[in-house]
Amino acid sequence: MKSTMSVTSRRLASFYQTAVGKKAVMAVTGLILFLWLVLHVLGNLQIFLGRDQINRYSAFLHATPEALWPVRIILIVAIVLHINSAVLLYLQKVKNRPIGYTKKGNRGATVMSRTMMWSGFALLVFIILHLLHMTTGTIHKDFIAGDVFHNLTFAFHQPTVVALYVLAMALLAMHLYHGLYSFTQSLGVSNPRHTSRIKPLAAAFAIVMASLFALVPIAVLAGFVH
């Protein structure tokens, strides 16, 4: 048993040690996080069905910890691995070019692709603030546990809060656009026939996803949610 363990850990180490291995981990965990965003936005949009509907949905989630906690654990593991890979790769990258270029051209790399580390970091900060705001209520000015409708509408009547959420969603769109394209590269899906479609598709997913998230704070602020 002991020897099998060491062989397994040696295998994992030799896989994760390479940049290709880390990128594969980043791709899979990124995809998990994206799929979870789909669930999250479907929950959010229930606010348009009224106070009772969204509060009932929240009560349902909290009443079924056997569904809630496995999802939370998967998410935490995915986020930790995603960030761990990103940070290790970034530190490696800095080390790999000790003397930088005095002049550096750009031959078409998108802003999104060049700022993944920073949009990712900003999103991490947002996620922490968002959890303190809407899950624990620590930084919410009038948090009522269980009354999601109230918590949302109260928060999103403050224009600065709405502006911050919308800004975060713009960053999410940038991160998702490049992430949804590059995960196919990282996992080795290569067919030029598909590649030409993957980028527009990634852009569409990123924009739709971020817009649906941003819709809730904007709609509340504009007075469309009663």
Partner 1 sequence: MKSFKLILNVWRQKSGNADGKFVRYEVPDVSEHMSFLEMLDVLNEALIGRGEQPVAFDHDCREGICGMCGFMINGDAHGPLPGTTVCQLHMRHFHDGQELWLEPWRARAFPVVRDLMVNRSAFDRVIAAGGFVSVNTGGVPDGNTLPIGKLDADRAMDAAACIGCGACVAMCPNSAAALFTGAKISHLGLLPQGQPERNTRAERMVTQMHAEGFGHCTSTGECEAVCPKHIKLEVIARMNADFLRAKLRSRD
Binding site for partner 1 (CB under 8 A): 11, 14-15, 17-24, 89, 92-93, 95-110, 113-114, 116, 178, 181-182, 184-192, 195
Taking the complex as a whole, how short is the minimal distance between the CB of residue 212 and partner 1, in angstroms?
26
Are 219 and 162 spatial neighbours (Cβ–Cβ below 8 Å)? no
Taking Cα atoms as reference points, which of 26, 24, 58 lies closest to residue 40?
58
Are 22 and 89 spatial neighbours (Cβ–Cβ below 8 Å)? yes
Taking the complex as a whole, how short is the minimal distance between the CB of residue 109 and partner 1, in angstroms?
4
Return the number of the residue (55 or 182) whose C-beta is nearest partner 1: 182
Taking the complex as a whole, how short is the minimal distance between the CB of residue 80 and partner 1, in angstroms?
19
Return the number of the residue (20 or 167) whose C-beta is nearest partner 1: 20
Taking the complex as a whole, how short is the minimal distance between the CB of residue 137 and partner 1, in angstroms?
37
Q: Is 158 helix (H, G, I), strand (E, B) or coil?
A: coil
Return the number of the residue (53 or 191) whose C-beta is nearest partner 1: 191
Return the number of the residue (153 or 182) whose C-beta is nearest partner 1: 182
Within 8 A by CB and 6+ apart from 76, the residues are none
- Residue 177, number of CB atoms within 10 A of its CB: 23
CB burial of 30-52 (b: ≥16 within 10 Å; e: otherwise) equals: bbbbbebbeeebeebebbeeebe
Taking the complex as a whole, how short is the minimal distance between the CB of residue 18 and partner 1, in angstroms?
5
Are 213 and 41 spatial neighbours (Cβ–Cβ below 8 Å)? yes
Using CA atoms of 43, 47, 50, 51 in order, give the dihedral in degrees to the nearest 10.
90
Are 175 and 119 spatial neighbours (Cβ–Cβ below 8 Å)? yes
Return the number of the residue (118 or 224) whose C-beta is nearest partner 1: 118
Taking the complex as a whole, how short is the minimal distance between the CB of residue 89 and partner 1, in angstroms?
5
Taking the complex as a whole, how short is the minimal distance between the CB of residue 144 and partner 1, in angstroms?
43
Return the number of the residue (22 or 133) whose C-beta is nearest partner 1: 22
Q: How far is CA 44 from the centre of its chain?
A: 15
> How far is the C-alpha of 93 from the C-alpha of 224, rounded, in Å?
47
Return the number of the residue (135 or 195) whose C-beta is nearest partner 1: 195
